[in-house]
């Protein structure tokens, strides 16, 4: 799977909606401001319902330190099992929830950022809704088959996944 950053399609929304944390005197990770940059799979027909976060430290002179790569699947196990009937069940289980992505870049502090993500971000339902919306916007922009299935599960009072700024109910749902 090839992943692409949400910000490449929607730079202005990404600017406002990318989560950042500032660390000062953290016992386990260096001081700095870190952005959790969301990326999604670029296959327009694939509805895998996962996000990859590149956790980057953005320091004042714009040198960037890649702290971690975190994957997160927000659906339940049944979804990932039915998503790919040929996938061994232990692999489907890995698609669910948050984890450090094995084949991607990680720093020695990666575990700490996963902990942050799980304790601070996953406990915030509004943030999870935002990620789902980013995913839907991203897939809508790709214009493949995946978006039809995604629309089915979408809250009609949320902003429309197409990025129009209207409520879903009064936009693409119609
Ligand atoms: Zn996919
Ligand atoms: Zn729309």
Q: What are the pLDDT digits (tens) for 24-40?
A: 999 999 899 999 999 99
Please tell me the number of the ligand nearest to residue 48's CA. 1
Q: Is residue 153 predicted with pLDDT exceeding 90? A: no
Confidence of residue 80 (pLDDT cuts 50, 70, 90): very high
DSSP string, 113-168: HHHHIIIIITT-HHHHHHHHHHHHHHHHHHTSTHHHHHHHT--TTSBPTTSSSSBG
Confidence of residue 71 (pLDDT cuts 50, 70, 90): very high
Please tell me the number of the ligand nearest to residue 164's CA. 2
Q: What pLDDT is attached to residue 61?
A: 59
Surrounding ion ligand 1 within 5 Å at CB are 41, 46, 48
Please tell me the number of the ligand nearest to residue 165's CA. 2
Kindly give the distance from the C-alpha atom of residue 134 to the centroid of ligand 2, in angstroms, as a whole number: 13
Cα four-point dihedral sign 120, 122, 126, 131: positive
Strand partners, 159: 167
């Amino acid at each position: 799977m090839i992943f692409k950053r949400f910000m490449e399609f929607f730079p202005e929304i990404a600017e406002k909606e990318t989560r950042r944390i500032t660390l000062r005197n953290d016992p386990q990770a260096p001081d700095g401001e870190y952005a959790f940059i969301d990326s999604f799979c670029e296959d327009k027909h694939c509805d895998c319902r996962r996000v990859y976060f590149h956790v980057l430290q953005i320091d004042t002179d714009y040198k960037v330190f890649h702290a971690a790569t975190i994957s997160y699947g927000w659906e339940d196990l049944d979804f990932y099992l039915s998503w790919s009937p040929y996938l061994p069940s232990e692999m489907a289980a890995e698609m669910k929830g948050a984890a450090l992505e094995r084949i991607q870049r990680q720093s020695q502090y990666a575990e700490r950022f996963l902990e942050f993500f799980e304790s601070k971000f996953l406990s915030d339902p509004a943030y999870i809704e935002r990620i789902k919306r980013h995913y839907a916007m991203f897939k809508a922009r790709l214009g493949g088959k995946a978006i039809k299935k995604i629309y089915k599960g979408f809250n009609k009072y949320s902003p429309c996944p197409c990025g129009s700024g209207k409520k879903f109910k009064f936009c693409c749902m119609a």
